[in-house]
Amino acid sequence: MATGQGSAGNVIAALCSFFVPGLGQLLQGRVLSAILWFLGACIAFVVTWLLTLSLLPFGWFVVSVFACINAALYRRPPG
């Protein structure tokens, strides 16, 4: 998969990360980053739920936006 900013691979990874934080990073081969984004989204969801006592996934949404941006801007190191 091409891995420059704006490449088709990064666009697909960004879309995947928007729906499931970390999935795009996993597609890019960044396993640790994928796990951390997913755990961050889960923690944000729980904190949001505890503070608001509703199932509005606002925390999950915020983390997913940042994971999406992270996947879209990723550049594979040369080599």
Choose among 4, 40, 6: nearest CA to 21: 40
Given this model, what pLDDT does residue 25 score? 95
pLDDT in tens, 57-71: 889 999 999 999 999
- Could you give the CA distance from residue 37 to residue 10 in angstroms, rounded to a whole number? 16
Residue 6 has pLDDT above 90, yes or no: no
- Could you give the CA distance from residue 49 to residue 42 in angstroms, rounded to a whole number? 11
61's tokens: 């949404």
Q: Under a CB-based contact definition with an 8 Å cutoff, are residues 11 and 73 in contact?
A: no
pLDDT in tens, 15-59: 999 999 999 999 999 999 999 999 999 999 999 999 988 877 889
Residue 3 has pLDDT above 70, yes or no: no
